[in-house]
Amino acid sequence: MNLNKNLLLTYLLLGLFCLHSFKIVAQASRLERCINWGYKIIEGDTAKHKKSFLILLPIWGVSPETGWQLGLSSGFVMRLSNDSITRPSLARLNWQFTEFKQLSIRPTIDLFFKQNTYYLKGQFVYNDFNEYFWGIGNQTPDIDKEQNEFKQMKLNFRLLKQNIKGLYIGPQLQYEKLFQMELGPKYFNQAIPGLRGFESFGLGLVLVYDNRDEIFYSKKGSYIEISGLWQNKNLAGQYSYENYFIDARHFKQLWKDNVLAFQFLANFNNGNIPYRQLATLGNENYMRGYYNGRYRDKHLFSFQTELRTVIWGPLGAVLFGGLGNVGNTIADLSTHIKPNYGLGIRGVLLRKDHINFRIDWGFGEEKNKGLYLTLHEAF
């Protein structure tokens, strides 16, 4: 009798579990239909897929140097040709306003023309802002931190031509002006180039090899960039110096949309370099977790690897880690190397071009940490 009762109870529990499972599946199915409906509104249906999209993301946060921060990151994705070869182009506008009436405006363009024959990349930056400065070197202590206020205008442009499939070459220019500097007492009397404001103008050359399958979410292929920029005060500006930059990335698809990604960066400078043109460790794209400019000097290297995985539907996650350093000489890069690591959440905004929004938490040594909310992958 007890055996029959136990058997009946077992069947009853199995039945309740099955009903609950069906309910969960039905709810997931409804959620998937809702998500697909949202994508259909943004992207259009498969028969009439939209050729351009507008993406809007809020910028928010609180920090001691700014108070509250509010802003908007907007991106306009488009294709400048109807063929199947031309890559998608992106125009972005980020603006940010803070409690202390600071303002930052950063329009950016990445344009691929017909069959990727030409590639135009540009950015303009206007900042009425402040930032922390710890001095120069890879061992600057926290007690040297001081807040500087300034206004900044910066312009970067490059126009590259594809001569052989995947191989681009072309000129670049850079202009930067830092003015209305307000320095704290610690660095007020120090003879650091550019600390009281500066103006610089440079011309250079860029060589890029790019055989990635996609540009916003690369699953396989490589990207290698080598560039040189030469500043001469006899042409314009106040300083003469040289800058050389290397960016090497490789992507390996593990299974489906799961990817293992690698990046190596190097930045070398020579001459009389204003302090804001020095190599800096840390931002939203590399050495995440370090305040941009926490360490700065003539030379830099960084290496990072990132595992990107799909959790469910449009949601994904990443784990990343790396190391890097700055130094006055190339030999200094091997001393006091700094680690970073972190994790992030991904959400697919546009499925066809796989454009994600991302939230990353990065951590470094000595309690360095950062939270980043922005569009597409770090690299």
Which residues does 319 contact at the CB level (< 8 Å), separation at least 6?
306, 307, 342, 343
Per-residue pLDDT of the chain (379 residues; tens, 9 = 90+): 444 555 555 555 555 455 444 444 445 566 666 666 566 666 666 555 567 888 888 887 766 567 788 999 899 999 999 888 999 999 999 999 988 888 999 999 999 999 999 999 999 999 998 889 999 999 999 999 998 899 999 999 999 999 999 999 999 999 999 999 988 888 887 889 999 999 999 999 999 999 999 999 999 999 999 999 999 888 888 899 999 999 999 999 998 879 999 999 999 999 999 999 999 999 889 999 999 999 999 999 999 999 999 998 889 999 999 999 999 999 999 999 999 999 999 999 888 888 898 999 999 998 898 888 888 899 9
Q: How much is the pTM?
A: 0.84
Identify the pLDDT of residue 160: 98
Phi, psi of 41 (to 5 degrees): -65, -45
Q: What is the distance, to the nearest Å, from the Cα of residue 223 to the centroid of all Cα atoms in its chain?
A: 15
Residue that has been written with the tokens 């191989």 in this structure: 167
Neighbour tally for 372: CB within 10 Å: 17
| DSSP secondary structure letter of residue 201 | E
| Backbone φ and ψ of 329, nearest 5° | -125, 165
pLDDT given at position 170: 98
We find that the CATH architecture of domain 51-375 is Beta Barrel (2.40)
> pLDDT at position 37, please?
59
Signed CA dihedral, 132, 136, 138, 142: sign only: negative
What is the pLDDT, as a whole number, of residue 19? 47
Among all chains, which residue has been given the structure tokens 């998500």?
A: 35
